[in-house]
Structure 1
Amino acid sequence: MIRSPLFLRLFSAILITLGLFSAAAYVLSVPFIEEKAYEIERDASRTILDNVFELVGRIRGGLEEQRAGTVESYKTRLRDVLDLAVGYIEHVQARADRGEIGAEEARREAMEGLRAFRYGNGDYVWAIGYDSVILSHPSPDYQGRKADDLRDNLGRHILPTIVATARRQGEGFQTYPWWRPNGDERAPKLSFFKDLPRLGLIVGTGAYLADVDAEVERRKAEAIEDLRQALRKLRIARTGYLYIFDSANRMIIHPNANIEGTAFGDRPNPATGRSIAEDLKVAAAKGEPLTYLWDKPDDPGNYAYEKISWVRHFEGFDWYIASSVYVEELRRSSVVLGNRILAIGMALMAAGSLLGYIAVGRLVGPLRRLADTAVQVRAGDLDAQSGIRRGDEIGLLASAFDGMVRQLRDTVATLDSRVRDRTAALAEAETRQRVILDAIPACIAGLDRDGRLTFANLRWGELVGRDKADVIGRDLAAVVGRRAMAVLRPQIDRCLAGEAATFEYTFPRGGRSLVTKTTLIPHRGEGRGEDGVVTGLFVLTLDITDEKQTERQLVEAQRLKAVGQLSGGLAHDFNNLLSIIIGNLSAARERYAGVEGLDAYLEPAQRAGRRGADITARLLAFSRQQPLKPQPIELCGLLRDMAVLLRRSFPSSIAIGVPEEGRECWTIADQTQLENALVNLAINARDAMPDGGRLEVSVAVRKVEEGLSFDGPAFDEPVRPDDYLEIRVTDTGTGFTPEALARAVEPFFTTKALGSGLGLSMVYGFVKQSCGYLRIDSGPGGRHGRGTAVTLLLPRAEPVARLPEDDPVAAEPQGGGSGGWSGQLALVAEDNDDVRQVMRQQLVDLGFSVVEAASGDEAAELVEQIDGLSLLVSDIVMPGLSGVELARRARLLRPAMRVVLVSGFAVEYGDVPADAVILRKPWDKRDLVAAIGHAAEPAPA
């Protein structure tokens, strides 16, 4: 190693620099770093505490949102239930308006119907007069009571306040305390009510808010348990932790499960002598940490170790959330860090001295040669080389310098060729990118800050009805128009402010509306002082028209399904009432036939009862709860037979067209209900053509495949791929208005002066129960107007061989007359006392001896105990065993027993025995005789 003066000067300078730098670094940095490390460790506990505080806040916010959502759900359900009750009252009042019943009878019938109505968790509908008298209430304690003395917790009158609000606003919500069904206590109740000024009464319904609060409290307990498990696993430093206590100094969450639930307010702070809990609360109010003395797990009872806690008060739950960590642990890391820095500094100083000694020695010799070569290159001699071959930095520098000189010669020669190749590659990439953008099934465009289009793909041009090349460089407002720009401008301004925006917009296209979903993404510039600045935006637009249409169809189908379920339940209850009314009227007419003038009163009442039975049957059809017997039907022949009957009852001004002779089309449906549906549609068409016109019924086979669409309005729900028979009933009548078309299949909705409003709803229920689909295409018209077309899709069937017609089965018992059953023993199983009484009396009149049971279980015991039972008449829906299960068990014990099952709606309680007969509610005596006659008596084994 050459000991030149340059070497000595450089090496001495390196040693002095390293020593001064190490000393200064230690003095200036190590104390500062130790203090900062301690502050970081201390603030880390505060950060963890803040995170837990925010988590608790989100838990509180989620519970409040859930409670608000649950209350809104309850309000929606109350509205729906009350709308159904008001519809029932208006239906009864309409009967009074038509003269079918008197005004007082209508009011009584409406109030009795409301008292019998139940839904949900025992909830009900009530009615009060303007004088605060309770007109309808399920509890006898309130029925007919003038309850204006009932007050809420603030002393306000409950019912007069409801009356005043309803008469002023028409309807409204009110929360007040009301007695629970058990009558022991009052609880907050939310009620929705409406004013019926024509009848002079207020109708309402409600639900207890305690059900909402119970759900919220349960979720709160679950959230607290999840938080407890999370905090027990969380550690600050080595042994620090978080805990939560309330304002009553009761520990809510603590890593030590034995402390949870205990009060620690009497535990003193050794540093101040005051309660540690109160010191923590003061620290929370000041927003400062609390330092106090505590013991250690390995030194219990010795309160000499300093701890620090951050505390925050969460007012939503009245909680205090606190962290706890030993100060010694926080400082330990800073001390360790300072010692490591000192050791690293000493090692670096020693290594630097050694490396400096070697580096200076190797640096001095070759520097001169490299400097001489650099002078030659600067003079323009690109062939000059240093010739230095070393494995260190100087060798690399020399090799790089020599290589740089050689590469410089090559670069000058090939630079132009490379530039040309690069330009061609960029052009090819741009072409490929343009093809990809045009092929993407989305509309994509770009805008600058001034609203000019910088690029657009093929589909975006098609969206605005222009060629994409024509829109580049143009202002967006000039391309889409002022109307669209008024909607787009606020969204564009948001995006230019740096916020991505997503919204929906409807474009008019070819006579239809095109629904789009657009996302605007800000584009931030780079370079030339534009880093982070929004210089433009990207536009991504998708066509969601089909998705929106499907969503509307599903919502409508769900709404009609809910109305159908309510209608079916109401019809079932009315079937029981009508069974009692019709049965007792029939018995009265038979027993008091000799009373002069009595029949003039009883016959209209019977006729009204049968009219009510027809209405409940239509309600069951709409709710898809009518009993069906689907079978293959040749529809074209059926339509030709129906046309003969229709032409006799239709005016001559209406022409009727049906499929021509010789054509056959088969479907699977209940023939009786299908005929009823077609007759309803024909009658509606006749009423819509008072001046004459044409009724056309056409039939076609439709094969629906995935993605197949139909012209005109969509069906009531998306059609599943399958083979269908399409039945299209068209007329040239007045048609529907848009408002009437939207409610066409709702029960009790009608545009006729006289009518129940159940015709189309019955058709709809039959089609849905038959696994079919329906749509109505209509518009206002006249003699030459558009008219109405109702299209039904029913499952298609393969042709079957026609069977010879059997002779009708005699409905009378063997031997003729009801006397053929004299002395036989019958068992009647029915949970409704009045219905059971009607059935018993009719069977006694037919000659039977009768035993009764109020449930399926009781009836099963009687079947086992009584010999000689020849007939079982049982309701299907009963407490305990259902009628179907009872019939199956009875047949096992008494194989020769006849079985008649009574039902008000479709049988959905298991397989009915093949030889059982279904008697529909309501019935008259002739129906009962026919059912007993058709009940097959199996041959003995």
Structure 2
Amino acid sequence: MLFAKILPKKFSSRLFLMTFIAGLIPIIVFTVLINIYGSRIQNEITRIIEEGYRQDMWHSEMMLREMGEASIYGRAVEMAQQLDMIIESVPWMTVADLQKDIKFRELAVQNISQTGYTYLFESKTGMVRFHRDRRLENKNLRRIFGDLPEFQAILARSLRGPSPANGYYQLKAGDGHIMKRFIYIIPLNHMTADDVRMSVAATVNIEDFSTPLQRSQEIHSTTKKYLTNALNRVTQSLRHSGLLFMGIGILTVSALAFFMGVFSSRAVTRLREATARINQGDFSGPVKVSASGEVATLVEDFNKMVDQLATTTVSKQLLEASEARLKIANSELRKEIAERERTEKELATEKERLNVTLRSIGDGVITADSTGRIVLINNAAEQLTGWRQEEATGHDLWEVFRTDGETPHISVIGGKGPQGGQKEFEASLNRKVLVSRDRTERIIAETRSPICDKEGNTLGTVIVFRDITHQKKVEEELLNARKLESLGVLAGGIAHDFNNLLAVVLGNISFAKMFIRPEEKVFDRLSEAEKACLRGKDLTYQLLAFARGGEPLRTVSHIGRLIEDSTRSCLTESKVDAVFSFHEDLLPVKIDEEQMRQVILRMVDNADEAMEGKGILRIGAENTTIDPGSPLTVKPGEYVHIFIQDEGPGIAEEDLQRIFDPYFTKKQMGHQKGTGLGLSICYSIIKDHGGVITVESETGKGTTFHIYLPAVTEEAHQEAADAAQSSGEIQTGRGGKGKLLFMDDDEGVRDVIVEILIHLGYDVQFARDGLEAIEQYRAASKSGRPFDVVIADLTVPEGMGGKELIKQLHKIDPRVRAIISSGYSNDPVLDNFRKHGFQGVVAKPYKIEELCTILEEVMNNVRTQVS
């Protein structure tokens, strides 16, 4: 009874108070629970984060180590393959030769990541041969790492047999820090010329692998801190927000309860107001009353009456409301139409922009749908395939994009992406031969990628490709040049040694002829032997055309007469008719006429054999300009273009790529049949002249060779002619007086030449190399009887040669007079001997008359200066 007295008298107030009290109960419960379980939730979340991080760190560390080991393994295998290729290509080089090769050292010693590097050691002995710390080279790994048992175990496994070995070992750094390193050792397949097999060792500090983990730990600490702070803020925010919203909710519900009470008590009043509206023709809606009992029954009956009246009476208000709704719907429809038109316009603009972009790029682009039908093809693809856009659209992809070696079916897989379980496309770059519509073949590089929607469904494929035929041709020409360069090194060495041998033979023959009268029969035999030696000199001259260290002895010449004379000489006994065509103002070229004559003779002889001694051979020359964008691998400028066109059966397409390779021939090997060196020699000679030689041929229609030689101006030609005229006539002699110093590393050459010069009346001393010659020259100068002339060999394999000797002698005596001699008869120093400080030059092998002539000329210059 007391509680009933406390409650308000009005129903609405009572309802408000009871609702408010009921709302305070969940607020109290919420506050207690969030204080109890908030800290527990926070600790549990922190524990889950730490546990997940430890598992992720463990898996990440294992994965990074595996990736690092795979990277080191790949790097070591790649280096081993490259080094094997180099050692295989230079079988004559020893370990010492390779240590002198800068490019080989750069390839053998490389850095890996931050602390890693590679080095080479002998597979059997463990002797280090290439290391970034050259102080460790030529030292044994057992001694270098003797106190590292883990490393010694890995090294022992590597030395036991030709198989890879790897593992971890600990190394103490200079600051005392213990580093753990990983090493991978793989032996090479090929051995050097001195039968040494080397192994590649790639080593790296494993801290390089764990650097991302350290960064991850820092990020985790920061993230954990942020998450903890965020969780605290969320808990506090939840507590405050919960109390706030619950309080607002209680007040709101209480207010609603108050108004509901008021509303329930005013049911009769609203019925009266509704009756008044109906009298005025307003049937806007039924009366809503939350009361029960008779009042509710009364309201329901009243609402039924209003519904019956609304169906039979036209309401002005309902018509106006309907009209307003129609206007709103019409306005929204107009907005939707305008938005759709704007979207369609933007799509059309974007499509046009895409078409313009695809048609302007240089790469070919073809797109196909999921059934393999072509949807789009740009201008570059039209030119490469021979199909126009309107022709190709709708055709199968394999009909338009046909490549050699590919089956005539390209499946474009549709369906789901990774979630669907079907096969996905992977972008790949391949080189293939594209066969166009007119059967033209081009080498292309292509990339294929899938076209997918947002859900991962494959809608089709896109192919991007480009023509790399010219790039491939340039790569093959460079490879061919490297092959010829390697062969040239061998040819140059053989020619040099053979010239020294001929010098000994020719010198002894000349010396023997001095003691025999010309009318004696043996004199003629010695003369024939002398001529044979000189013919051998011509043979070495051809070999020296291959030598990498030699250059042609060039003179400015008009090549037209040389071409015509050489051709007619070669076709003397042939029925082939030569037709010549030379430009009237053909520019001169700076050439070695003897070498160029060999080129023309070889080319014409090959054409004569191809035409089987009958037909017309067209030969000509014209001036041409090579622009920077030309596919020819020469410098831009003015050139003389020589062409030799035959009517033979042509050259097979598969042979054109190897036509200039050494020892490549379709003839039978043997004497006067074919050696495979003819076109290789021509290629080398033209290359040494700064030019290029190319070939084009079609089976059944003949072959045309094109030669491009750098042209020179008429002024250069006139200067060369004036220089030759000013050199004067050479006088010969058979004897002389003077003190000579003869330096040559070949004992046979040294003995015979010194003996001949002494016989002719000269005071001669000899030296074996440049250092010995310097000592003798210095001693003679101090004694007051200096040497009048020094004769020096240009090349001394294991000592100082003539080029360095003359520099040192000029420091001792600026007026020194010297003659240079060499078995490399086409060495650039011989061609420009005066620029290097020499007064005369003689190429081995030489007749004694040639040497005496040069000596007499130099001695006369000495006497003239003295007088």
- What secondary structure is seen at the aligned counterpart in 2 of 1:771? coil
Matched letter for residue 73 of structure 2: G
2:823 & 2:728 partners in 1: Cα distance?
A: 24
Unaligned runs of at least 5 residues, structure 2: 1-12, 99-119, 137-148, 154-166, 181-201, 264-281, 285-324
Deviations along 1:859-883, whole A, 9 cap, x unmatched?
1232233225222211112355431
Q: What is the RMSD computed on CA atoms of the aligned residues? A: 5.3
- Structure with bigger helix share is 2
1:853 offset after TM fit, Å? 1.0
- Structure 1 residue aligned with 2:307: none
Aligned counterpart in structure 2 of residue 20 of structure 1, from 30, 33, 39: 33
1:519 offset after TM fit, Å? 1.4
2:79 & 2:222 partners in 1: Cα distance?
A: 48
* 2:1 matches 1:76: no
1:727 & 1:60 partners in 2: Cα distance?
A: 53
Q: Tell me: CA distance 1:933–1:356, structure 2 relative to 1, closer, same or farther (3 Å).
A: farther
1:506 offset after TM fit, Å? 1.1
Matched letter for residue 775 of structure 2: E
Q: Tell me: CA distance 1:932–1:259, structure 2 relative to 1, closer, same or farther (3 Å).
A: closer
- What secondary structure is seen at the aligned counterpart in 1 of 2:545? helix
Matched letter for residue 502 of structure 1: L
1:520 offset after TM fit, Å? 1.5
Aligned counterpart in structure 1 of residue 486 of structure 2, from 553, 562, 582: 562
Aligned counterpart in structure 1 of residue 431 of structure 2, from 504, 510, 534: 504
1:650 offset after TM fit, Å? 1.7
Aligned counterpart in structure 2 of residue 691 of structure 1, from 601, 607, 613: 613
| 1:810–1:934 CA contact under 8 A, matched in 2 | no
| 1:774–1:792 CA contact under 8 A, matched in 2 | yes
Matched letter for residue 711 of structure 2: P
1:723 & 1:547 partners in 2: Cα distance?
A: 24
Matched letter for residue 58 of structure 1: A
2:620 & 2:510 partners in 1: Cα distance?
A: 44
- Structure 2 residue aligned with 1:668: 590
2:364 & 2:235 partners in 1: Cα distance?
A: 62
- Structure 1 residue aligned with 2:47: 35
| 2:484–2:546 CA contact under 8 A, matched in 1 | no
Q: How does 1:305-704 map to 2 (within 5 A)?
A: 345=235, 348-358=238-248, 361=251, 410-480=331-401, 486=407, 489=410, 496-509=423-436, 510=438, 512-526=440-454, 531-588=455-512, 590-591=514-515, 606=530, 609-636=533-560, 642=565, 646=568, 650-651=572-573, 653-658=575-580, 663-682=585-604, 684-685=606-607, 691-704=613-626
2:19 & 2:660 partners in 1: Cα distance?
A: 106
- Structure 2 residue aligned with 1:766: 685
Deviations along 1:490-527, whole A, 9 cap, x unmatched?
8979995242233232123446421222212122333x
Deviates more, 1:587-596 or 1:32-41: 587-596
Count, aligned residues: 693
Matched letter for residue 458 of structure 2: V
Aligned counterpart in structure 2 of residue 870 of structure 1, from 778, 783, 788: 788
- What secondary structure is seen at the aligned counterpart in 2 of 1:422? helix
Q: Tell me: CA distance 1:656–1:871, structure 2 relative to 1, closer, same or farther (3 Å).
A: farther
| 2:778–2:812 CA contact under 8 A, matched in 1 | yes
1:790 offset after TM fit, Å? 4.6
- Structure 1 residue aligned with 2:627: 705
- What secondary structure is seen at the aligned counterpart in 1 of 2:590? strand
Instruction: Return the TM-score normalized by structure 1.
Output: 0.61
| 1:825–1:849 CA contact under 8 A, matched in 2 | yes
Q: Tell me: CA distance 1:20–1:221, structure 2 relative to 1, closer, same or farther (3 Å).
A: farther
Q: Tell me: CA distance 1:674–1:444, structure 2 relative to 1, closer, same or farther (3 Å).
A: closer
1:690 offset after TM fit, Å? 5.8
1:893 & 1:339 partners in 2: Cα distance?
A: 86
Q: Tell me: CA distance 1:679–1:897, structure 2 relative to 1, closer, same or farther (3 Å).
A: farther
- Structure 2 residue aligned with 1:825: 739
1:500 & 1:67 partners in 2: Cα distance?
A: 27
2:367 & 2:744 partners in 1: Cα distance?
A: 75
Matched letter for residue 761 of structure 2: G
Matched letter for residue 388 of structure 2: D
Deviates more, 1:557-566 or 1:330-339: 330-339
1:472 offset after TM fit, Å? 3.4
1:902 offset after TM fit, Å? 0.5
Aligned counterpart in structure 2 of residue 850 of structure 1, from 736, 743, 764: 764
Aligned counterpart in structure 2 of residue 719 of structure 1, from 624, 634, 652: 634
- What secondary structure is seen at the aligned counterpart in 2 of 1:701? strand
1:9 & 1:857 partners in 2: Cα distance?
A: 117
Q: Tell me: CA distance 1:417–1:763, structure 2 relative to 1, closer, same or farther (3 Å).
A: closer
Deviations along 1:734-755, whole A, 9 cap, x unmatched?
7666687655555666748427
Q: Tell me: CA distance 1:923–1:895, structure 2 relative to 1, closer, same or farther (3 Å).
A: same
1:850 offset after TM fit, Å? 1.0
2:468 & 2:481 partners in 1: Cα distance?
A: 20
- What secondary structure is seen at the aligned counterpart in 1 of 2:362? coil
* 2:705 matches 1:789: yes
1:701 offset after TM fit, Å? 0.8
Deviations along 1:613-653, whole A, 9 cap, x unmatched?
2222111112354454444323345556x37x946982374
1:837 offset after TM fit, Å? 1.5
Deviates more, 1:875-884 or 1:598-607: 598-607
1:15 & 1:405 partners in 2: Cα distance?
A: 52
| 2:444–2:467 CA contact under 8 A, matched in 1 | yes
1:428 & 1:768 partners in 2: Cα distance?
A: 55
1:457 offset after TM fit, Å? 3.3
1:565 offset after TM fit, Å? 2.5
- What secondary structure is seen at the aligned counterpart in 2 of 1:843? helix
Matched letter for residue 523 of structure 1: I
Q: How does 1:168-187 map to 2 (within 5 A)?
A: none
2:627 & 2:509 partners in 1: Cα distance?
A: 55
Matched letter for residue 623 of structure 1: A
Matched letter for residue 727 of structure 1: I
Matched letter for residue 507 of structure 2: G
- What secondary structure is seen at the aligned counterpart in 2 of 1:940? helix
Percent identity over the alignment is 21
Unaligned runs of at least 5 residues, structure 1: 82-117, 124-189, 191-206, 223-243, 263-315, 373-378, 382-403, 710-714
- What secondary structure is seen at the aligned counterpart in 1 of 2:407? helix
1:657 & 1:217 partners in 2: Cα distance?
A: 63
Q: Tell me: CA distance 1:854–1:485, structure 2 relative to 1, closer, same or farther (3 Å).
A: closer
1:512 & 1:250 partners in 2: Cα distance?
A: 57
1:343 & 1:733 partners in 2: Cα distance?
A: 93
1:801 & 1:889 partners in 2: Cα distance?
A: 36
Q: Tell me: CA distance 1:838–1:380, structure 2 relative to 1, closer, same or farther (3 Å).
A: farther
2:327 & 2:127 partners in 1: Cα distance?
A: 85
2:828 & 2:228 partners in 1: Cα distance?
A: 81
2:130 & 2:452 partners in 1: Cα distance?
A: 45
1:834 & 1:254 partners in 2: Cα distance?
A: 59
- Structure 2 residue aligned with 1:923: 846
Q: Tell me: CA distance 1:764–1:209, structure 2 relative to 1, closer, same or farther (3 Å).
A: farther
| 2:19–2:253 CA contact under 8 A, matched in 1 | no
Matched letter for residue 345 of structure 1: T
- Structure 2 residue aligned with 1:84: none
2:641 & 2:629 partners in 1: Cα distance?
A: 18
Matched letter for residue 507 of structure 1: L
| 2:397–2:410 CA contact under 8 A, matched in 1 | no
Q: How does 1:111-190 map to 2 (within 5 A)?
A: 121=96
Q: Tell me: CA distance 1:749–1:837, structure 2 relative to 1, closer, same or farther (3 Å).
A: farther
1:687 offset after TM fit, Å? 5.7
- What secondary structure is seen at the aligned counterpart in 2 of 1:499? coil
Structure number with bigger Rg: 2
